[in-house]
């Protein structure tokens, strides 16, 4: 096999789900494609969460076993709201007041999820930054940036940035300050990105 093909298949292998026994588990930190009886799935098993999503549905039964969808990334989103309200929204609102974009990260550590501020350059159109190196045992999980008063959306640049690796990506937008309540309000969009495949979550409003 060509050495380049070996690299590709090592990075993103394809396995066939056995019909008469359980499929072997996906290693921690690994991502793979799995062919099941009803189509093709992508599976990633990160230390902070596991995701199995169908990519393609077969119109006929294939001679393979069952692959079931799994989503524990959702648990991450449900657990970050204290960080969002205490750290993310106040910082994003500070820049939104100036009509500038903001960026930050939420990381996984042995003590749980934590907010990680970034050094970035900001304009009204983008926030540019280089991700710092993390100590052993810490991992980037949620990538967040804001669009101040513009609607939250994922751009072509975001798609290019998310063409590899595994993360949860969140964007804030439609910022406004509700003076009567003394709260900062954002709408947000969220998606899972797995080796260039995008899976949209839901859109909400969030205030602080």
Q: In what order do the strands lie in the sheet with 49-57?
A: 14-16, 30-36, 39-46, 49-57, 70-71
Q: Is the pLDDT of residue 182 over 80?
A: no
Task: Classify residue 86 by its DSSP letter.
Answer: I
- pTM, to two decimals: 0.88
User: Helix (H, G, I), strand (E, B), or coil: what is residue 8?
Assistant: helix
Q: Give the pLDDT confidence of 78-132 residue by residue, as tens digits.
A: 999 999 999 999 999 999 898 889 999 999 999 999 999 998 887 766 778 888 9
Task: Classify residue 24 by its DSSP letter.
Answer: P
User: What is d(CA 89, CA 91) in angstroms, rounded to the nearest whole number?
Assistant: 5
User: What is d(CA 92, CA 100) in angstroms, rounded to the nearest whole number?
Assistant: 9
Q: Give the pLDDT confidence of 188-206 residue by residue, as tens digits.
A: 999 999 999 999 986 555 5
- Could you give all domains of the chain from N- to C-terminal order, each with its CATH number? 3-71 (no CATH), 75-207 (3.40.140)
The tokens for 164 are: 């590899």
| Segment holding 164, helix H or strand E | none
């Amino acid at each position: 096999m060509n050495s380049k093909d070996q690299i590709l298949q090592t990075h993103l292998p394809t396995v066939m789900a056995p019909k008469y026994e359980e499929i072997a588990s996906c290693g921690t930190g690994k991502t793979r494609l799995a062919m099941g009886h009803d189509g093709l799935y992508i599976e990633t098993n990160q230390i902070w969460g596991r995701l199995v999503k169908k990519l393609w549905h077969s119109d006929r039964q294939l001679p393979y076993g069952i692959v079931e969808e799994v989503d524990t990334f959702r648990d991450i989103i449900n657990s970050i709201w204290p960080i969002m309200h205490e750290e993310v929204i106040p910082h994003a609102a500070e820049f939104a007041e100036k009509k500038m974009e903001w960026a930050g990260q939420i990381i996984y550590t042995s003590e749980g999820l934590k907010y990680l501020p970034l050094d970035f350059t900001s304009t009204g159109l983008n926030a540019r930054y280089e991700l710092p190196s993390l100590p052993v045992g810490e991992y980037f999980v949620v990538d967040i940036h804001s669009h101040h008063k513009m609607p939250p959306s994922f751009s072509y640049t975001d798609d290019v940035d998310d063409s590899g690796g595994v993360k949860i990506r969140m964007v804030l937008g439609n910022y406004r300050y509700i003076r009567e309540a003394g709260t900062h309000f954002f709408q947000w969009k969220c998606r899972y990105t797995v080796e260039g495949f995008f899976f949209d979550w839901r859109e909400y409003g969030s205030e602080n």
